[in-house]
């Protein structure tokens, strides 16, 4: 999002109930940079806007860029579902009125929305592994259900799909026009929002695809670890990470005060309000330009929102420094990275199946993968975030393969822990596949403590 749009959106996004640009909340102004006066300052409002990922036209993206003598061999796409209705409600307040039916002439628009709806209505149960076949193929409730994908969420992924189509299908001819079922690999968790997000992306990518050639597998685990989810050390890291979070929260007196304020407005105990994870619901208000809830005791306002959002930013900063989350992530992300690398190796060996893979997932899937790859500076996965693994073959040396990693269109290959030193040691312009393979098959465990060299051993070590 550029400078100007951000500015414009900000003005409009401020709920009518809140004072204009927060000018009256003087006490908070000293702590937080005012985003309206200082646009682009990475403060809580700026971060929240990026998180919403409000569909806009011009997106710059670096997917599919490589020197001329490289040929694109395979692409794997890991996405977070698009914009959704909250998973929690704030007790004793009216939940935001959002219409989850798809309406072509309602914002946000997408030229393919109508065709998407019509194509989804022809969908067939045989395209989905059980229990996915019991899920609706597109959102359809006049008042969204909890966690339901919204029209914004559908549009975000239609756009993702179309962008990837332009680059991979039209420009690089990754798939032939008569592509076959075994050239795709599709996997999603069992939530309607992930399945529908995957379908929207796929529809943008391969418009009017033949339903007979589509098969979505079901992934029962949000970590995409099914078959190898048992990992005691990962759980220990998670407990320690949660304790770190708890201590940080206790230290933030302004946050405590804000929860207290909000609890008084809503008239429930502070602990009950906190348990209702109000930021999830407030983000939905914010992203949809709906004013924050009011009661006879007053209104939840932008000041409350900023304090909680700011705390999230500080929490992410400490999370990076403390490395407990890194331990959790290295173990948590191994199974899906292992799967990704195996698929790349098979493609590098010349197999022509599964050259496009789509994994439709959650923030709790993408976040550990980013952290495990060493992309600790990457932003928390926004709605409809995409992480892409490209595999390239050097036409001049056909036995040599390279990888590119892209996060939301940004090339982050040389920020990963397995390729950040590449330029210093090698004249090659691309990151070799072996770097990623060695990292996933061995080095990611060495990074944990140095003694384990495989997933099973690493999972059964004691925390030091």
157 assigned to active site: no
Decide whether 312 or 342 has the Cβ nearer to ligand NAG: 342
Q: Which residue of the set 81, 110, 304, 401 is catalytic?
A: 81
Decide whether 10 or 322 has the Cβ nearer to ligand NAG: 10
For residue 287, the minimal CB distance to ligand NAG (Å) is: 11
SS (H, E, C) the chain: CCHHHHHHHHHHHCCCCCCHHHCCCHHHHCCCCCCCCCCCCCCHHHHHHHHHCCCCCCCCCCCCCCCCCEEEEEEEEEEECCCECCCCCCCCCCCCCCCCCCCCCCCCCCCCHHHHHHHHHCCCHHHECCCHHHCCCCCCCCCCCCCCECHHHHHHHHHHHHHHHHHHHHHCCCCCCCCCHHHEEEEEECCHHHHHHHHHHHHHHCCCCCHHHCCEEEECCCCCCCCCCCCHHHHHHHHHHHHHHHHHHHHCHHHHHHHHHHHHHHCCCHHHHHHCCHHHHHHHHHHCCCCCCEECCEECCHHHHHHHHHHHHHHHHHHHHHCHHHHHHHHHHHHHHHHHHHHHHHHHCCCCCCCEEEEEECHHHHHHHHHHCCCCCCCCCCCCCEEEEEEEEECCCCCCEEEEEEECCEECHHHCCCCCCHHHHCCCCCEEHHHHHHHHHHHHHHCCCCCCCCHHHHHCCCCC
Of 51, 224, 292, 455, the one binding ligand NAG by CB under 6 A:
455
Q: Which of 313, 311, 293 is nearest to 302 (CA)?
A: 293
Q: Contact between 452 and ligand NAG (CB under 6 A)?
A: no
Q: How many residues at the interface with ligand NAG, by CB under 6 A?
A: 10
For residue 335, the minimal CB distance to ligand NAG (Å) is: 4
For residue 230, the minimal CB distance to ligand NAG (Å) is: 10
Residues 433-454: b if buried by 16+ CB within 10 A, e if exposed: bebbbebbbebbbebbeeebee
**In the stretch 306-335, what mask flags binding to ligand NAG with x, by CB under 6 A?**
----------------------------xx
Q: Contact between 16 and ligand NAG (CB under 6 A)?
A: yes
Decide whether 277 or 338 has the Cβ nearer to ligand NAG: 338
Decide whether 25 or 228 has the Cβ nearer to ligand NAG: 228
Q: Which residue has the tokens 């798809």?
A: 102
Give CA angle at 382 (379, 384), nearest 5°: 135
Q: Which residue of the set 34, 280, 363, 443 is catalytic?
A: 363
For residue 107, the minimal CB distance to ligand NAG (Å) is: 7
252: tokens are: 């933030």
**Total length of the chain:** 464
Whole-number Cα distances in Å, 210 to 129, 163, 188, 334: 17, 20, 19, 33
Distant-in-sequence, close-in-space partners of 139: CB < 8 Å, separation ≥ 6 = 100, 101, 102, 148, 149, 150, 151, 153, 154, 192, 196
Site residues for ligand NAG, window 332-391 (CB under 6 A)?
334-335, 338, 342
2 assigned to active site: no
For residue 56, the minimal CB distance to ligand NAG (Å) is: 11
Q: Which residue has the tokens 């962008």?
A: 163
**In the stretch 145-174, what mask flags binding to ligand NAG with x, by CB under 6 A?**
------------------------------
For residue 201, the minimal CB distance to ligand NAG (Å) is: 25
Decide whether 232 or 429 has the Cβ nearer to ligand NAG: 232
**In the stretch 269-308, what mask flags binding to ligand NAG with x, by CB under 6 A?**
--------------------x-------------------
Region binding ligand NAG by CB under 6 A among candidate stretches 8-16, 108-116, 365-373, 416-424: 8-16
Decide whether 52 or 263 has the Cβ nearer to ligand NAG: 52
Q: Contact between 96 and ligand NAG (CB under 6 A)?
A: no
For residue 106, the minimal CB distance to ligand NAG (Å) is: 12
Decide whether 9 or 62 has the Cβ nearer to ligand NAG: 9
For residue 388, the minimal CB distance to ligand NAG (Å) is: 21
Decide whether 229 or 375 has the Cβ nearer to ligand NAG: 229
Decide whether 380 or 445 has the Cβ nearer to ligand NAG: 445
Of 3, 4, 12, 170, the one binding ligand NAG by CB under 6 A:
12
For residue 358, the minimal CB distance to ligand NAG (Å) is: 19
Q: Contact between 228 and ligand NAG (CB under 6 A)?
A: yes
Residue positions annotated with a catalytic role: 81, 363
Binding site for ligand NAG (CB under 6 A): 9, 12, 16, 228, 289, 334-335, 338, 342, 455
């Amino acid at each position: 999002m550029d400078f100007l749009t951000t500015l414009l959106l900000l003005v409009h996004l401020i709920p009518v109930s809140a004072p204009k640009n927060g000018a009256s909340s003087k006490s908070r102004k000293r702590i937080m940079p005012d985003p309206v006066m200082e646009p682009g300052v990475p403060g809580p409002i700026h971060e929240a806007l990026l998180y919403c990922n409000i569909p806009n036209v011009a997106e710059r993206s670096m997917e599919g860029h490589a020197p001329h003598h490289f040929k694109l061999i395979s692409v794997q796409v890991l996405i977070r579902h698009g914009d959704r209705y909250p998973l929690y409600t704030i007790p004793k307040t009216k939940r935001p009125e959002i219409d989850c039916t798809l309406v072509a002439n309602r914002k946000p628009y997408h030229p393919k929305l109508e065709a998407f709806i019509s194509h989804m209505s022809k969908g067939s149960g045989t395209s989905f592994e059980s229990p996915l076949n019991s899920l609706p193929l597109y959102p359809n409730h006049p008042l969204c259900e909890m966690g339901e994908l919204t029209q914004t969420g559908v549009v975000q992924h239609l756009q993702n799909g179309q962008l990837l189509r332009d680059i991979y299908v039209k420009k690089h001819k990754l798939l032939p026009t008569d592509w076959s079922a075994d050239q795709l690999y599709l996997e999603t968790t069992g939530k309607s929002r992930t399945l529908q997000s995957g379908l929207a992306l796929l529809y943008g990518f391969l418009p009017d695809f033949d339903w007979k050639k589509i098969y979505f597998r079901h992934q029962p685990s949000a970590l995409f670890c099914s078959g190898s989810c048992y990992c005691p050390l990962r759980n220990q890291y998670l407990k320690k990470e949660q304790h770190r979070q708890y201590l940080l929260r206790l230290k933030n007196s302004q946050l405590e005060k804000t929860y207290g304020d909000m609890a008084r407005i809503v008239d429930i105990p502070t602990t009950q309000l906190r348990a209702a994870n109000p930021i999830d619901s407030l983000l939905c208000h914010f992203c949809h330009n709906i004013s924050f809830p009011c009661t006879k005791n007053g209104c939840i306002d932008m000041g409350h929102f900023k304090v909680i959002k700011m705390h999230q930013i500080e929490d992410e900063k400490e999370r990076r420094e403390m490395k407990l989350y890194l331990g959790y992530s290295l173990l948590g992300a191994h199974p899906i990275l292992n799967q990704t690398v195996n698929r790349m190796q098979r493609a590098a060996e010349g197999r022509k199946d599964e050259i496009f893979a789509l994994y439709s997932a959650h923030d709790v899937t993408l976040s550990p993968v980013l952290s495990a790859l060493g992309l600790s500076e990457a932003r928390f996965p926004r709605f409809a975030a995409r992480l892409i693994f490209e595999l390239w073959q050097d036409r001049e040396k056909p036995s040599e393969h390279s990888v590119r990693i892209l996060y939301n269109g940004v090339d982050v290959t040389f920020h990963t822990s397995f390729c950040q030193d590449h330029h210093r040691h090698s004249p090659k312009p691309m990151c070799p596949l072996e770097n990623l393979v060695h990292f996933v098959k061995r080095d990611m465990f060495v990074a944990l403590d140095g003694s384990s060299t495989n997933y099973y051993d690493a999972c059964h070590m004691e925390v030091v």
